[in-house]
Amino acid sequence: MKNKKILVISLFASLSFSGYAQEADKIKTVNIAGIEQDVKESAASISIISGEDLTKRSAKNVTNSLYGYGLGLTTLQNSGHYATQEPTLYVRGMQTLSDNKGPLTLVDGIERDIKLITPEEVESVQILKDAAAVALYGYKGANGVINIITKRGKYNTREIKFSYDHVINWEARRPEFVDGYTYALAVNEALANDGVRKPRYHELELDAFKSGNYPYFYPNVNWMDEVFKNTAATNLYNISFRGGGAKFRYYALLNLTTDKGFIDNANMNDGYSTQNKYSKANLRTNLDIDLTSTTKMTVNLLGTLAETSRPGDNADLWSMIYQLPPTAFPVRTENGLWGGSITWAGTLNPVAQSQATAYTKGHNRSLYADMTLKQDLSSILPGLGGSFKLAYDNYAAYVENHSKTYRYGIDYVAWASGKPTAGTQNVFGTESPMGTDSDMSEWKRNFNSALGLDYQYASDKHAVYTQLMWNHEYRNLNGTNQTWYRENLTSYTHYGYKGRYFADLSMAVSSSNKLAPGHKWAFSPTLALAWVISKENFMEKADFIDYLKLRASAGIINIDNIPEEAYWQEIYTGGSTYRFDSSYGATSNSFKLSKLAALNSTHEKAYKYNVGIDATLWNSIEFTLEGYYQRRSDIWVNSKGKYSSIIGFEPPYENGGIVDSWGVELGANFHKTVGEVTLHAGGNFSLTKNKIIEQYEEPRLYDNLVTTGHRMNQVMGLEAIGFFEDEEDIANSLEHTFNVVQPGDIKYRDVNNDGKIDSNDKKAIGYSTAIPEIYYSFNLGAEWRGLGFNAVFQGTGHYSAVLNTQSVYWPLVNDVTISQHYYDNRWTPENPDAKYPRLTSQTNNNNYQTNTLWLEDRSFLKLRNVEVYYKLPEQWMKWTKFINNTKIYVRGNDLLCFDHIKIADPESYGVKNPLTRSVVAGLTIGF
């Protein structure tokens, strides 16, 4: 209709669907700053992930469902117990030298912790990437935005959905350590390599370890098998209610998650368990109410209760296992006392720690609440509207410490007639009652309010939408200097001509109490343009092109990152250099100037540029290609490298850092129905690079030491060229200054050609250890008569690891254990071409420098999710009269990993819990 004043405006979003939901179910709108927009008319870059796809991993929260989804989103898995295992998220990689590198996370447009959100309550996840997409978020959006849109009710419907998932977990690639006999041989070999003539273990002791006849005196303990069982279980329950009437809509979800960990024999005590346990309940209620024909209200409520339980006072059992050799002491002595020794005073008995130290329990409670009123003001001016929003969040964490201590000891050995017998027994520790302490460990309170006016107009040729919004934010965390206020006044104007040419102008004026007086405000403008080429007359003959759009954006985003609190003030510490009292004696206590104030205070800025193409071909292929460049300037950096230390105190922070980042993103999806078979496939590819342009780096003696000009988190190390073969080889080689070298030690190249090997020979090696430059994924699936499968693969490239895990790669030093992998690949005179250096019991500064020998390619390809399912036929459901649909399925998570490290997971190597893999059996029923 010519004069119809109904307009669905696209604000700024790219048509990049990361999932593979059916065409009819795809998300066709985005929501930014409270505005619903049509993705087809977008002018900037947003990747949309369907909530349906996120439920295919049976994860405890939405963040653990994101692997492989979201063009431009990098999701990296971390180790840890089920309750604490959270991925690291980046949008378009690492962009700044400041500490704040992660994206802004939102739930229904409010900054919130998305780890509390379950996949089942999510309608979509929207990844906002370029300047046009993040402009209205003021100071907070420069690193990208992840916006979780939760599900809402539907008019005149009623739906009930129940799902149950039973998850069997196991820890993949657990480390394998040597047995007691092999450990004793390794120690003797290390001592001999170190020039110690007398071995630690003589022949009779070696025989005792080998025979296993004297387990209390010469134990051979597999600590990992003693502490942990092979599998653990998780249960996920969800029930949701969705529907509404003519003027009221509702969505409600109750989620319950329970998890029991891997600790073996956790129920050895009456009345309590020492198992690693986690349980969480989510209650979500979203309401949409038409108060009048012109007044609409939405209310969103989320309450969560979570409880964790761990043995003892949060004992790190895996760190103990990575350190404790099998010969240290028995699990229990011959008279039943827990084993332990002051030789390993820093490493207690992990079995005792898992069973005899009682438990610590944590409670987390949170409330998310927000309310929005929208008023149609067309009675004043056609097309005019207003909105008002209030949001309040409260989070608290409590800890109950019920841990206790125990007695432990060791029987010293006396040899008689060629056999070991018990000598004296040393007993340590005390048997204490369980603790009763409790405390609040963390709390957060957040408050948001917003007030806005909008106007829209549409005719045959012209479409205009404009919005003016004021937002106030208050955030309060426990601790000092943790109360923040932000004000945001934003203006957004959208103009469309003939439905094919679009322009978006965004302007934000922002204030933050984190910033220095006189510098709290900043202005951030953004312009975005889009051209829907497929609507041009000259495209009529290109009938294979259903949709084709070219778009571009440019903008400046200011950021309120700061180097430290009150950075604009001088810092004084205790000392006697400058006296401010009446006594000038030598013993007088006073203050001294420790650090100068920052004088050039301004804002860190992101200059963002983006171009993109979106296309739909043959009504079955969707395609997105993006290219972007960003200069991050005025980054706060330490200026120590700029000034001489002769000034006598620490120089100030300055806005001197500059980082360039750029990249390419490619996304494609295919969907087709052939007869009774539905096929889908797709993939995402991102190449993200960055370069440090300026960071006030201190002057270096040699160019190879300079990190400016390299990527952030660039590995700097020595170039290993082999091992010293013998004493003659050492004599004929350059001096290695780290310590006296021996045959089997690492030999390095003289990078700076100064005739010796020292730390000045380090250079850039490998890639970043923090984030890969290449991140990609692909998916495929099919369905026939309700029987189907889905699979998602995800991989990385240009990604490095430094293999420095204690005992796995750096064994025996400080009496730690040794992995079977290292023992089998160590240097010996008989194995001069080994993978690793000789064994040593001493700290070896030469071998344990960061170098190319310890550098590994961290690239990998994982089968993230695979699902086989069957949807029961509709005629079966009709027979029940109340069940609408039923789906049964079996899933696998992270079942396969193709990589170069092999003995540890490339995403999580180190003294941490190994990553888990899982198999899921589940059922979904709709009523």
- Identity of the residue numbered 54: L
Is residue 437 within 8 A of residue 400, CB to CB? The reply is yes
- Give residue 602's pLDDT: 87
Residue 854 has pLDDT above 70, yes or no: yes
- Would you say residue 89 lies in a domain? yes
Residues 6+ apart with CB under 8 A from 582: none
- Would you say residue 292 lies in a domain? no
Comparing CA positions, the residue from 54, 75, 74 lying closest to residue 65 is 54
Residues 6+ apart with CB under 8 A from 307: 277, 278, 279, 280, 361, 362, 363, 364
CATH at residue 146: 2.170.130.10
Q: How many CA atoms lie within 13 A of 906 on its CB side?
A: 26
Measured between alpha carbons, how far is 34 from 133 in angstroms, rounded to an integer?
13
Residue 14 has pLDDT above 60, yes or no: no
- Give residue 94's pLDDT: 94
Residue 330 has pLDDT above 80, yes or no: yes
pLDDT band at 489 (very low <50, low <70, confident <90, very high): very high
- Give residue 492's pLDDT: 95
**Alpha helices, DSSP H, located in 441-507:** none
- Give residue 485's pLDDT: 92
Is residue 242 within 8 A of residue 157, CB to CB? The reply is yes
Pairing of strands 408-416, 338-339: parallel
Is residue 552 within 8 A of residue 608, CB to CB? The reply is no
Measured between alpha carbons, how far is 333 from 411 in angstroms, rounded to an integer?
7
Residues 6+ apart with CB under 8 A from 699: 641
Comparing CA positions, the residue from 558, 560, 534 lying closest to residue 547 is 534
Q: Rg for the chain (alpha carbons), in Å? A: 31
Is residue 228 within 8 A of residue 170, CB to CB? The reply is no
Q: What percent of the chain has a predicted confidence (pLDDT) above 90?
A: 76
Quick count: other Cβ atoms within 10 Å of Cβ 335? Answer: 10
Comparing CA positions, the residue from 734, 778, 736, 787 lying closest to residue 759 is 736
Mean pLDDT value across the chain: 90
Residue 9 has pLDDT above 60, yes or no: no
Quick count: other Cβ atoms within 10 Å of Cβ 767? Answer: 23
Residue 469 has pLDDT above 70, yes or no: yes
Comparing CA positions, the residue from 792, 909, 778, 796 lying closest to residue 860 is 796
- Give residue 19's pLDDT: 43
- Give residue 913's pLDDT: 81
661 forms bridges with which residues in the sheet?
630, 690
- Identity of the residue numbered 561: N
The DSSP line for 117-134 is --GGGEEEEEEE-SHHHH
Quick count: other Cβ atoms within 10 Å of Cβ 436? Answer: 8
Measured between alpha carbons, how far is 219 from 214 in angstroms, rounded to an integer?
7
Is residue 78 within 8 A of residue 359, CB to CB? The reply is no
Q: What percent of the chain has a predicted confidence (pLDDT) above 70?
A: 93
- Identity of the residue numbered 326: P
Q: Which domain holds residue 86?
A: 16-153
Residue 6 has pLDDT above 80, yes or no: no
- Would you say residue 36 lies in a domain? yes
Query: Per-residue pLDDT tens for 575-631?
Result: 555 555 555 555 455 566 667 788 777 899 999 999 999 999 999 999 999 999 999
> H or E segment at 163?
strand 157-171
Average pLDDT (104-119) is 94
Top pLDDT among 879 and 805 is at 805
Residue 176: both structure tokens together:
């394998």
> H or E segment at 901?
none
Based on the number of CB atoms within 10 Å of its own CB, is 645 exposed (0-12), middle (13-18) or buried (19 or more)? exposed
- Give residue 575's pLDDT: 59
Is residue 589 within 8 A of residue 641, CB to CB? The reply is no
pTM as predicted: 0.91
Residue 91 has pLDDT above 80, yes or no: yes
> H or E segment at 151?
none
Residue 169 has pLDDT above 90, yes or no: yes
- Would you say residue 837 lies in a domain? no
- Give residue 344's pLDDT: 73
- Give residue 345's pLDDT: 63
622 forms bridges with which residues in the sheet?
616, 669
Residue 343 has pLDDT above 90, yes or no: no
Measured between alpha carbons, how far is 690 from 712 in angstroms, rounded to an integer?
7
pLDDT band at 262 (very low <50, low <70, confident <90, very high): very high
Is residue 145 within 8 A of residue 103, CB to CB? The reply is yes
Is residue 51 within 8 A of residue 124, CB to CB? The reply is yes
| Of the ranges 118-122, 270-274, 414-418, 441-445, the best mean pLDDT one | 118-122
The DSSP line for 11-32 is -S---EE-S---GGGS--EEEE
Query: Per-residue pLDDT tens for 658-688?
Result: 999 999 999 999 999 999 999 999 999 999 9
- Give residue 76's pLDDT: 94
Top pLDDT among 621 and 413 is at 621
Q: How many domains does the chain have?
A: 1
Pairing of strands 774-784, 787-797: antiparallel
